[in-house]
Structure 1
Amino acid sequence: MLRSDAGHALDVQSLSQPSEPDEIRDVSKLAPKPISIDATGLSESLLLDLLVKHIFTAGVLTKELMVAKIGLTGGILQQLLDTAKKLGWVENRQTTVDGQMRYALSHTGEIHAKLVFSRSGYLGLAPVPLKQYIPICKQQSSRARPITYEMLEQGLKALVLPQDLLYKIGPAMNSNRPVLIYGPPGTGKSYLCRHLNLTLGDDVLIPYAIAIGNEVIQVFDPELHHRTEDGVTNNPLDLGSGHDPRWIKCQRPLRITGGELTAEMLEVQFDTHSRTYMAPLQLKANNGILLLDDLGRQRISAKQLFNRWIIPMEEHRDFLSLQSGEHFEIPFELILLFSTNLDPKELVDEAFLRRLGYKIHFDALNTELYRKIWFRVCDELGLSCSEETFLHLLKEYHQKFAKPLIPCYPRDLLGIMSDQICFMKLEPVVTQSLIDSAWSIYFVE
């Protein structure tokens, strides 16, 4: 059975009431396109350095290509080009067939570009200054759009879950506190956490990079941040529509980390070879979900981890630093989930457990839910199974060997049977003999 240690009574009736439709977030108002260098919040020197690096790398660029590579409007790019020409860094080249002016670096410009690259290897869209990032990140908080019972039920409809779990995990996601999900292996803890992002259902703006003074930290990660299309062409040359191109419209991120987690991954990372900064995993996960799977098996101890995140978990702000030693503050605006099959009391002391707020225990299923999962997996694999054969599994194996009804068993056992059926060219029917064979292969007795 599942139980919650949060200690709060739930008003089931109020949770089941339909919510009012949410207003669609207008990203063009949340992050409007800057129309001047001042509006970008960045120094002209930073933008000029970025411009010459792009031209140096490409060799020759049109203004249209510069707009796409840097993410600034044509008017701002023209101001930068005019300044670069006065400094003797940029020269005009022969126009393209369709009449577009082409630009290249002069000898002086190439020298400057090499000098700039020696200081910073960042090459991408113009960054968003920290002072612009903070308010937008806070406005996009998932808690600004509370999860309702209907949203959770819809988002998790593909899963077979005990009904009371919805009344425990829903309020936990709406709270401002981390959530610990614990229980034996195979009970669906990680599987559930991986599907929780579906309940949020909206998009957010992720900055390609953030500027701390003249230092740039790349945030956008194509493996984590999945772009979304809203049918609106965000053309930087068109000031009348779309949002600031320095922000990428994405699904809310879901960052999962397990045994590979180290203390270094929680800090800004500087690559001395490329001379670039990369954001820590909690900054990349902002406005989404961060799942620390298999808590207690990381390369950083649970105690070290919680000591590092005491302030972020309680005050929703984190403190980071650059290689120079400069410190800065960022929002810690995410849903933080921990999953473990170890005893929580062996991981951290009682004081840390209190800070987690919600502790939800996962255990074996009842027969009804186990049967539902079994026959659903049969349908997915194109297998047929009689009730008599299913009862054989319960009586002769689960009961005889005292094996609990763990949610992962149906997919694992039926997967083995499907492989056997394919190999031996059998009818797609689950038989007692196939169950006997799959059980002996799957379990080590």
Structure 2
Amino acid sequence: MQQDNSLKQVSTDTPIASLTSRSLQLAPRPTTIEQTGLSESLLLDLLLKHLMNGGVLTKEQMVKLLGVTGGIIQHLLDSAKTLAWVENRQTTADGQMRYALSMGGELHAKLALSRNGYLGLAPIPLGQYTEVCKKQSSRSNPITFEMLEKGLSALVLPKDLLFKIGPAMNSSRPVLIYGPPGTGKSYLCRHLNLTLGDDVLIPYALAIGNEVIQVYDPELHHRVESDAIPASLDLAKGHDPRWLRCERPLRITGGELTAEMLEVQFDSHSRTYMAPLQLKANNGILLLDDLGRQKISAKQLFNRWIIPMEERRDFLSLQSGEHFEIPFELILLFSTNLDPKELVDEAFLRRLGYKIHFDALDEELYRKIWFQVCADLELSCTEEVFQYLLIEFHERFKKPLIPCYPRDLLGIMSDQINFMEFESVVTPALVDSAWSIYFV
């Protein structure tokens, strides 16, 4: 499964009903302000901010900008007209009424922007988000050995690792993956979301009272083109468009992690709130790579997440000091090259339900990776040359069979072949040269 910022295409053989039924059950489209779970004042402020930003808008444009039905937009426009904040403008060529702010409406919109600069789809109230997030838990559809093997079919792994990783993915406990550098820990973790295989609804933003926190991040949340619905269908009957259908998120953070990234972030210039990384990763996987090398210590990190790791709920706060609770509904993975006992004490290690050790490969798996990389790089290599590598270098220098070596060594050989315009054949001379370059 390729992850990028483009929309995933929906197969034309897949019935539309099967794509939308679960979304409709989780998040039916509200038809009244009460059903949105939001106050009329919040929605009215958001509408005025959009009008100030757009200048002149039709009702259809406002429906798309706020993600609510035309009936709700009309109700808000009627309220705004009563307050003399919105004026009618000349209709479009196809007869659509256009609307703009009055002088009073512009003053109110500026006041609303000074309080909160959010400009996007109408947010989801916290209570609704919590309910949907828990229902979408990956643990509600446990991973089986067959699912794991299929999802990781492109990787060469010892089978005993699958028997350890699978149950860990179904557990509510965090998972620590540790072992020497180059043993494939991070590489495996970056592919685990492929085993989950389904999609989830991600809110564009959350409402905490009258404050709004943006959750959707296009760099992390990869949208699915589930809205590729025939024009003959009534789009008003689809799921609540304030929720975006996305692949389950995979959030990876490493040495750049700071304590601030675990809290709601407020931009004083734009007056907007952004969600912390664990909130963005909900219903997916959060990988903390290279544990022990972050700007926040492992001990500080575990102290911060004692309650989330054990109770699957987290506590956050806003600039005003208001505290609120969110679900901690994700698969939490830690990966490290360091000795776990040097990072945290025994009490913390107990809280990590699964501790999975990665080590060097046996010869059979190492050979499989070697020739697989040869095929990927379009290089020809004989068994004799492979044995030359094992005997003259791995055995002689007592270098373990680490999974990253084939990719790195053959990559160097491929570079040399291209530079020297040699035949695409791995030779003992190329092995000698690549080894001397790669190892100090």
Structure-2 separation of matches of 1:306 and 1:77: 46
Does structure 1 residue 250 correspond to structure 2 residue 246?
A: yes
Deviation at 1:135, TM superposition (A): 0.6
Contact 1:168-1:360 at 8 Å conserved across structures: yes
Q: 1:25 to 1:164 in 2, by over 3 A?
A: farther
Say whether the 8 Å CA contact 2:221–2:246 is kept in structure 1.
Answer: yes
Aligned match of 1:10: none
- Residue 14 of structure 1 is matched in structure 2 by none
The structure-2 alpha-carbon separation of the partners of 1:81 and 1:92, relative to structure 1 and needing over 3 Å to count, comes to: same
Kept after mapping to 1: 8 A contact 2:20/2:239: no
Aligned to 2:173, the other structure's residue is in SS state coil
Residue in 2 that maps onto 1:377 = 373
Aligned match of 2:9: none
> How far does residue 97 in structure 1 lie from its aligned partner after superposition?
1.3
8 Å CA contact 2:223–2:245 kept in 1: the answer is: yes
Under a length normalisation based on structure 2, what TM-score does the superposition of the two structures give? 0.94
Given the superposition, is the C-alpha separation of residues 245 and 24 from structure 1 closer, same or farther in structure 2, using an over 3 Å criterion?
Answer: closer
Distance 2:411 2:60 in 1: 53
Q: Which runs of 4+ in 1 moved over 4 A?
A: 22-25
Corresponding position of 1:12? none
Alignment match of 1:228 (pick from 224, 247, 258): 224
- What count of residue pairs does the alignment treat as equivalent? 422
Query: Aligned runs of 1:277-288 on 2, under 5 Å?
Result: 277-288=273-284
**Deviation of the 1:241 alpha carbon:** 3.0
2:150 aligns with one of 146, 150, 154: 154
Instruction: Tell me which residue corresponds to 2:193.
Output: 197
Q: Distance in 2 between matches of 1:101 and 1:24?
A: 32
2:303 alignment partner in structure 1:
307
1:364 is aligned, of 350, 355, 360, to 360
Q: Does 1:263 align with 2:259?
A: yes
Q: Secondary structure at the match of 1:159?
A: coil
Residues 230, 239 of structure 1: CA spacing in aligned structure 2 closer, same or farther, 3 A cutoff?
closer
State the 1:230 CA deviation. 2.6
Contact 1:234 1:243 in 2 (8 A): no
SS in 2 for 1:26: helix
TM-score calculated relative to the size of structure 1: 0.93
Deviation at 1:107, TM superposition (A): 0.8
Q: Is the 8 A contact 2:19 2:226 kept in 1?
A: no
Deviations 1:113-163 (A, max 9, x none): 111111110000000000110010000000000000000000000000001
Pick the aligned partner of 1:83 from 73, 79, 83: 79
> Structure 1 356/23 Cα, relative in aligned 2: closer, same or farther at 3 Å?
farther
Q: Which residue, 63, 82, 103 being the options, matches 1:107?
A: 103
- Classify the secondary structure of the residue corresponding to 2:100: strand
DSSP 3-state at the match of 1:385: coil
Aligned to 1:414: 410
Superposition pairs of residues 26-45 of structure 1, within 5 angstroms:
26-45=22-41
Instruction: Tell whether 2:172 aligns with 1:181.
Output: no
Aligned to 2:389: 393
Provide, for residues 341-370 of structure 1, a one-character-per-residue CA deviation record: whole Å limited to 9, x for no partner.
000000000000000010000000000000
Structure 2 CA distance, aligned partners of 1:271 and 1:289? 26
In 1, Cα distance between the equivalents of 2:138 and 2:63? 32
Q: CA deviation at 1:214?
A: 0.2
Aligned counterpart for 1:241 among listed residues 237, 243, 246: 237
Letter in 2 for 1:304: Q
| Contact 1:146/1:174 (<8 A) preserved | yes
**Take 2:37 and 2:370, find their aligned partners in 1: how far apart are those partners?**
57
Q: Structure 2: any 5+ residue segments left out of the alignment?
A: 1-17
CA separation of 1:433 and 1:239: change in aligned 2, threshold 3 A: closer
1 CA distance for matches of 2:184 and 2:266? Answer: 37
Name the SS for the 1:95 alignment partner.
Answer: coil
For residue 171 of structure 1, what is the amino acid of its counterpart?
Answer: P
Tell me how far apart the structure 2 counterparts of residues 189 and 242 of structure 1 sit (CA, whole Å).
41
Q: How many percent identity over aligned positions?
A: 79
Q: How does 1:421-440 map to 2 (within 5 A)?
A: 421-440=417-436
Identify the residue that residue 3 of structure 2 maps to in structure 1.
Answer: none
Provide the secondary structure at the position in 1 that maps to 2:190: helix
SS of residue matched to 2:161: helix
Q: Cα offset for 1:318?
A: 0.3
